[in-house]
Structure 1
Amino acid sequence: MPVEFRIAEVVDLVGGTLVSGREDHLLSGVRTLEEAGDSDLSFFSHPKYRSQFETTRAGAVLVGPEIGVGPRGVALIQVDNPSHALATLATKVEELSRAFVSGVRVGAHVGANADVDPGAAVHAGAVIDDGATIGRGSEICAGAVIGRDAIIGEDCIIHQNVTIRERCVLGDRVILQPGAVIGSDGFGYEFVDGRHHKVPQLGIVVLEDDVEVGANACVDRARFGRTVVGEGTKIDNLVQIGHNVQIGKNCIIVALSGVAGSSKLGDQVTLAAQVGINGHIEIADGVQLGGKSGAIQSIDEAGVYMGTPAKPFTDEVRQWRDVGKIREMRQSLKLLREEVERLKKE
């Protein structure tokens, strides 16, 4: 934690209650319960780590409302959700640590007809093509390429080596991690006369407000119209979003997942790692798909699903249980056959 806080300041920032310890104690780092020292802040939110909590040497620990007593000499700050409180503090630290200076740096290339707000920052090595628009407070880092007529809203962070291709649109407070590609061609071909002929992808990508896209993730432009990622959705590293996909608000898509073209995800959908979504299907609001699951057909009701093809979680667990009994069942069947053969001989 590159910024120092007194415990009283931490309590105020996270909206917590100090139940033990000194308000003036200085904190300058964040570490796990096991690693933390007297100048570090930590958090305790899962009973699995009870033993580490009881022996921690942290200067202060964020705890839930049910924790009123802790190790001797350790300050306890009660909050509703310790993990979220730590994230809130980390956000503040990030804001204070960010060295944002507006203006176009020497070495940046900005097209003559580009519209870069005076309150935006464009770093050396970045390329802003003709007709592109960069909103106030947005930061375009080294190596990023913003294509012709692309629109980037306010307070966005476009990290190193990101590509935003022509005419794509980003809302406000969008974050693109290094290497992300927005608006790459959709994977479309027609097989004619023994060859694959490329189908031009004439549409765009729209990332609504507060979307984040992870490192080396790709969101393909639509064949026609728009590929849309809804407000507040978070996409992890190495995710592929196909052309004309429609993703709702506040979804979570975890690493190595793939969403095939023209599929539609509702609001608050969660795809765990390595999930595959078939093309041209719909996933209802509130669906959660477990890791390595495959949705082959549309899912119409909210709930937790697992497996390939994806099925309700309880059904999948029951199937796992049955598979585990196969050896025992084969042995029982063998004994029954032997008994039948014996009876035949009598």
Structure 2
Amino acid sequence: MAQTVETIARALAARAEGDLSLPIEGASEPQSAGPRQIALAMSAKYIPGLAAGQALAAILPEGTDWRALGLKAAIFVARPRLAMAGLSKAFDPGPEIGPGIHPSAVIDPTAEIGAGAAIGPFVVIGRGARIGAGARIAAHACISEDVKIGEEALVLQGVKIGARVVIGDRFIAQPGAVVGADGFSFVTPEKSGVEEIRETLGQRDTITEQSWTRIHSLGHVVIGDDVELGANVCIDRGTVRATMIGSGTKLDNLVHIGHNVQIGRDCLLCGQVGIAGSSRIGDRVVLGGQCGVNDNIFVGDDVIAGGATKIFTNAPAGRVLLGYPAVKMETHVEAWKNIRRLPRLFAQMAELRETVTNLTQKKGTE
């Protein structure tokens, strides 16, 4: 996808100097960049690598003397990772999904396919489904009855979307994502061992045989605009009401969202996060990899939880959490510092004990 220095600068809303007509066919790290690639030297520590490469143009920090580096053109950025977002978008051709409807696709006659949509091979689209204009559905995706998907969606290989799911515009689902599977909800005829230990925090009176009865999932899933799902994400449908994902939220690979969960806008959930049923997550919440959220609790707006944090109780807005169980990050860090001090403290205690013992024995012999 050929560009010029000028078109790239315009895409980044950045300032450029030099020969703006230079053709650019891709991006590369400075030391390996060729003459038709733009070198990504967006931090001062990467600039020395330009000498080893052949780049004629580079993206540089503001204030860099690009002429002294032997370049013919330069683009200046203040926030490198934001620049990477624009640059990667400019050069990403996206997946190859042929225009129109592939002859092997199976589409119910009552389904509606929007203008300009592309439907790949072996896609199945159920009764009453509606696919928005410009949507792209890759091979082997399965879209069940009465699903509604907005405009410009990208549904990649093997994605499964269950009945009555409603999805907004510009949705992206990576391969293998499952939206609208039944919730994991079971009950016993009598009080279960799980219910008992929830009340007693571990104490069990008697242990009896128990069988599990399935609670069916009658709800669905509602997803806002600009939501992205990583590979093998699983979002369960609600028991009666909908499981909800707010606009702008991004879910990494292997994230699991239980039934009835409500997630706010612009949240970021990293790999292997699990949120148990009926919990509510506020807006702009960030959960690091392998975080777990207990069922039926509330995590407030702007909470940030470090990797592997386990949140068992309500978390107030703006709190920064870490640990198992979750506590304030500074509390967790201080606790671990204290744990690391324990061997030294034990050694000091042993010395004190020996000193006291020696003094006692000496006094006894006087």
1:11 is matched with which residue? 9
Q: How far apart, CA to CA, are the structure 2 residues paired with 1:70 and 1:278?
A: 57
1:29 is matched with which residue? 26
TM-score, structure 1 as length reference:
0.92
8 Å CA contact 2:126–2:143 kept in 1: the answer is yes
CA 1:167–1:44 in 2, change beyond 3 Å: closer, same or farther?
same
What is the Cα deviation at residue 34 of structure 1?
3.5
TM-score, structure 2 as length reference:
0.88
What is the Cα deviation at residue 298 of structure 1?
0.9
2:283 is matched with which residue? 267
- State the SS of the aligned residue for 1:334: helix
What is the Cα deviation at residue 101 of structure 1?
5.2
Greater Cα radius of gyration, structure 1 or 2? 2
Partner residue of 1:327 out of 331, 335, 343: 343
1:250 is matched with which residue? 266
- Structure 2: gaps (5+ residues): 191-209
Q: How far apart, CA to CA, are the structure 2 residues paired with 1:25 and 1:118?
A: 37
Q: How far apart, CA to CA, are the structure 2 residues paired with 1:166 and 1:174?
A: 17
What is the Cα deviation at residue 92 of structure 1?
2.8
Letter matched to residue 36 of structure 1: A
8 Å CA contact 2:183–2:238 kept in 1: the answer is yes
Letter matched to residue 173 of structure 1: R
Report the more deviating stretch, 218-227 or 110-119. Answer: 110-119
What is the Cα deviation at residue 132 of structure 1?
0.8
Report the more deviating stretch, 161-170 or 314-323. Answer: 314-323
What is the Cα deviation at residue 115 of structure 1?
1.4
What is the Cα deviation at residue 113 of structure 1?
1.3
CA 1:97–1:128 in 2, change beyond 3 Å: closer, same or farther?
closer
The aligned length equals 342
RMSD: 2.0
What is the Cα deviation at residue 24 of structure 1?
2.7
2:140 is matched with which residue? 143
Q: How far apart, CA to CA, are the structure 1 residues paired with 2:338 and 2:47?
A: 35
Letter matched to residue 299 of structure 1: A
1:171 is matched with which residue? 168
- Structure 1: gaps (5+ residues): none
- State the SS of the aligned residue for 1:18: strand
Q: How far apart, CA to CA, are the structure 1 residues paired with 2:339 and 2:45?
A: 30
CA 1:116–1:54 in 2, change beyond 3 Å: closer, same or farther?
same
Partner residue of 2:307 out of 281, 288, 291: 291
Q: Does 1:61 align with 2:77?
A: no
Identity %: 34
1:83 is matched with which residue? 81
2:194 is matched with which residue? none
